[in-house]
Chain A
């Protein structure tokens, strides 16, 4: 698809009649947290070792995604309480070589919005991602639990994200 047809597609979508709202039961909102992004080699011990290290120092992890980004590396994304950010960074940097951590980056202030019930519905994911991106809010990480779909967002954009979700999801 070339740039022009992409633009036309976006305009078509924006100008299209609003689809019906999707009924959900609730939205959970976390407090301010911090996000850590670690690049690790594709072996299973480094992610487990990172979690063991943080856990043994009382760092509470509220959200995790882990996946391979190439045959050689994988991305571990963690949300920790914002009060634990500095201690976590210090710990990880002090053990960076020992734990085989290739890179460490972070967002100091993020929040998680969780929608339920998710019921494994593609429509819920699509509506969440598209509506946020159309409003200029970039999800930093998304995952699903048994009945919950969770999305990590920058705290600065959180209120904007909630108003945007209000247009596509219907609460009782």
Chain B
């Protein structure tokens, strides 16, 4: 994709030391995910990244990222949560990081998301999930690939204070 000048973004926000929990194929009934959110709320656990999707009419998928410390507190309640949510599949990925890119108007400038994902893919970064809306795009990636992701994004976008090479 050809661009005359790179898009400027604000400094990246990178959150390391996270765990991603995937609950896939949860029956779509009111309150099915409530047991999970109630526990997170009760324990004051912040949701660092969230995507929910719907592949089939009767089920939904929910993926969240929480800190490792929060996950260790939640571990004892996981089997109960799984029993209540009834996902067809459940997976845990760790350690992961969330790389959040702010500013390049993802909702207004065609091609911005393509530019971001292409930069990461070309750098060999595995994107576990992505959430893009308004002026922010968050990618969940393996923690060990954070430096590669930073370099790739730094080449594709103009980051204030950073020298482009």
Interface string of B46-60 (1 = CB under 8 A from A): 111111111100001
Residue from A61, A67, A150 having most chain B Cβ neighbours under 10 A: A67
Say yes or no for B13: interface residue by CB 8 A criterion: yes
Say yes or no for A146: interface residue by CB 8 A criterion: yes
Interface extent on A, as a size class? Answer: 35 or more
Say yes or no for A142: interface residue by CB 8 A criterion: yes
Interface segment out of the listed A48-56, A90-98, A155-163: A48-56
The secondary-structure label for the interface of chain A is mixed
Instruction: Report A-chain residues with C-beta under 8 Å of the C-beta of B36.
Output: 122
Contact yes or no, B37 A126, CB < 8 A: yes
Interface extent on B, as a size class? Answer: 35 or more
Distance between Cα atoms of A140 and B8 in the complex (Å): 32
Interface string of A74-103 (1 = CB under 8 A from B): 010100000000000000000000000000
Instruction: Report B-chain residues with C-beta under 8 Å of the C-beta of A69.
Output: 24, 55, 61
Of A55, A64, A70, A114, which is within 8 A of B132 by CB? A64
Interface string of B100-124 (1 = CB under 8 A from A): 1010001111111111011011000
Contact yes or no, A122 B29, CB < 8 A: no
Distance between Cα atoms of A68 and B83 in the complex (Å): 22
Say yes or no for A170: interface residue by CB 8 A criterion: no
Contact yes or no, A47 B127, CB < 8 A: yes
Distance between Cα atoms of A24 and B54 in the complex (Å): 26
Instruction: Report A-chain residues with C-beta under 8 Å of the C-beta of B102.
Output: 146
Distance between Cα atoms of A66 and B50 in the complex (Å): 11
Q: 6 tightest CB-CB pairs across the interface, nearest first?
A: A55-B111, A126-B37, A51-B114, A143-B131, A122-B40, A64-B132
Between A and B, 13 residue pairs with Cβ closer than 8 Å are A39-B55, A47-B117, A52-B111, A60-B110, A64-B133, A67-B63, A75-B55, A77-B53, A120-B47, A138-B28, A144-B47, A144-B50, A145-B134
